[in-house]
A and B are shown apart, each in its own frame.
Chain A
Amino acid sequence: DAGVTQSPTHLIKTRGQQVTLRCSPKSGHDTVSWYQQALGQGPQFIFQYYEEEERQRGNFPDRFSGHQFPNYSSELNVNALLLGDSALYLCASSTPRRGRDTQYFGPGTRLTVL
């Protein structure tokens, strides 16, 4: 049973560029959440996708956008990269039921912006 997968593992970009990160959820899961984790901090919620729509959004600018495909996989796009966007980007998958949403994380994508 495959867990959550993410690609690429590492990425180096320069300021102003755009980046796309990808995530495939755990088998049987239909919901994908994205988080940003800066060094030494807890993950910060970016947004959550369900049924190909953004269901919730955290306190991130519009430069951060996403998409969910019919097979439940998801992409995170970040435009006009800033140095402060350097972080570990985590994808978590789940199948929320009866008010419970237990999320399992993928290995993450380490983004470095120079």
Chain B
Amino acid sequence: QKEVEQNSGPLSVPEGAIASLNCTYSDRGSQSFFWYRQYSGKSPELIMFIYSNGDKEDGRFTAQLNKASQYVSLLIRDSQPSDSATYLCAVSPRTSYGKLTFGQGTILTVHP
């Protein structure tokens, strides 16, 4: 079992729709959870972090964390073509403070 797994892509949504990106992790003791956006040929850009169970909203982005189910998700409302990118889920395990373990990424395409 991979330490961090993301829903297989690519994911294609129409402009204005809600994009839902999912991630599961294996280490039940994980403390911190991050979503990065990576445009083709660029480096990852931090867009959300979440530490506690529940929802965290920032503009059009909502991160959701359920530690009991070992599940974290990212919702993008009113998706725009500029949201088209690879989205990386990252987890900081309790036993390896500071190390981020990434999923393989989900490619999102928002079409006009």
Residue numbers of A with Cβ under 8 A of B are 31, 33, 35, 40-45, 48, 50, 55-56, 58, 88, 90, 92, 94, 96, 99-108
Contact = CB atoms under 8 A, between A and B. Distances in A.
B105 A48 contact: no
Interface string B7-27: 000000000000000000000
The secondary structure that dominates the A interface is strand
Contacts of B97: 56, 96, 99, 101
A101 B43 CA distance: 18
22 contacts: A31-B98, A33-B100, A35-B100, A42-B103, A42-B105, A43-B102, A45-B100, A45-B101, A48-B99, A55-B98, A56-B99, A58-B99, A92-B100, A100-B31, A101-B92, A101-B97, A101-B100, A102-B34, A102-B46, A103-B34, A103-B100, A107-B42
